[in-house]
Amino acid sequence: MSYANPGKPSKRWQEWVDSKPILSLLVVGVIATQLGTYFGYVFPAIGLPVLPWPLYNGILASTIADGFNATVVDQGFAVSSNSFFMGHTLHFVNGVVFAMLWGVMFREDIAKWVKNNIARGLVYGVIMTIISAGLLVPYAYVAEQGYGLFLFDGPDGWKLPFGILVWHLIYGAFLGLLWNPSDDAEA
């Protein structure tokens, strides 16, 4: 059995990543999304607002707004089992798609400036934060609620944008930790 050493993946995992780069990137995308999602739900333990991305995705994707089969009503939207499953599905599809974009496009392009793979994941997380806090959250998730650009005008002040940053840094760190093909592992 091949075991991992600190800072180095196990030989078995490295061989699997090298032989199946897209499939391994898909698996890593699911893992990074799940771990980020877990931390987003427990952020109140450290004083940050909860980040229920699957809930928000479900509300956006669901057309159920009349309360039929609703278990919770949140911000005037009916949250049903349908929106719950649609939200989780969309959330994980997003996580996998963004992991694929990181592994296939972004990671190689930034390699000339950032040599460490974990740092590449963190830089990607910062870029995703800018997109999320600058566009997606204020104009899709909480549209017309007066949050403003980068969400500083909301009721949580600096905590919501900071929470979004921490969430994406966790996601990016797990991308960088778990997916590093050996052709550039020494970088």
pTM: predicted TM-score of the whole model, two decimal places: 0.82
Contact 53, 168 (CB under 8 A): no
Question: How far is residue 117's CA from residue 23's CA, in Å, rounded to a whole number?
Answer: 19
Token pair in block for residue 63: 């057309």
| Of 57, 6, 12, 7, residue with least CA distance to 33 | 57
**Biggest CA pair distance of the chain:** 56
SS3 content of the chain, % helix, strand, coil (to 5): 65, 5, 25
Tens of pLDDT along the chain (187 residues) come to: 566 666 677 888 889 999 999 999 999 999 999 999 999 999 999 999 888 888 877 877 764 443 444 444 455 455 667 777 888 888 899 999 999 999 988 887 887 898 888 999 999 999 999 988 887 777 666 666 666 666 667 777 788 889 999 999 999 999 999 988 886 544 3
